Amino acid sequence: MSDFSDVPDDEHDPITLSPVVEEFLGDPDTPADVFSAVVAFLIDLRQNAFPHLSLPVPGRPGMHSAPLRRDQGLVEYAVNEGSDPPQIYVSRILRAD
């Protein structure tokens, strides 16, 4: 069994954010309600790779979309189920406005 005590936690995080999503979350102009909806989604995603109302994206194997809370938009993400825990890549956020 490996000892990962000296490795930063982000190296073992099963969720990776695309540069676009990182920029979106780091932008001070991102509305607070949208920011909080995205963070709530990421918390749900940590508990389950397929949160409530998540659906596969037709024609894009491994891709899924899920609505953000309070109808703030959609999140598209890819899931690699071949690992434990599943590796997840959050590719983009589509805002409702």
Structural domains in the chain, sorted by start: 14-95 (3.30.2310.20)
pLDDT tier for residue 11 given thresholds of 50, 70 and 90: low
Residue 6 has pLDDT above 50, yes or no: no
Distance (Å, whole) CA 70 – CA 79: 24
pLDDT tens, position by position, 61-81: 999 999 999 899 999 999 998
Per-residue model confidence (pLDDT) at position 4: 38
Burial code (b: 16+ CB inside 10 Å, e: under 16) for 4-39 equals: eeeeeeeeeebbebbeebeebbeeeeeeeebbebbe
Q: Tokens representing 7? A: 């490795």
Which pLDDT band, with edges at 50, 70 and 90, does 1 fall under?
very low
pLDDT exceeds 90 at position 91 = yes
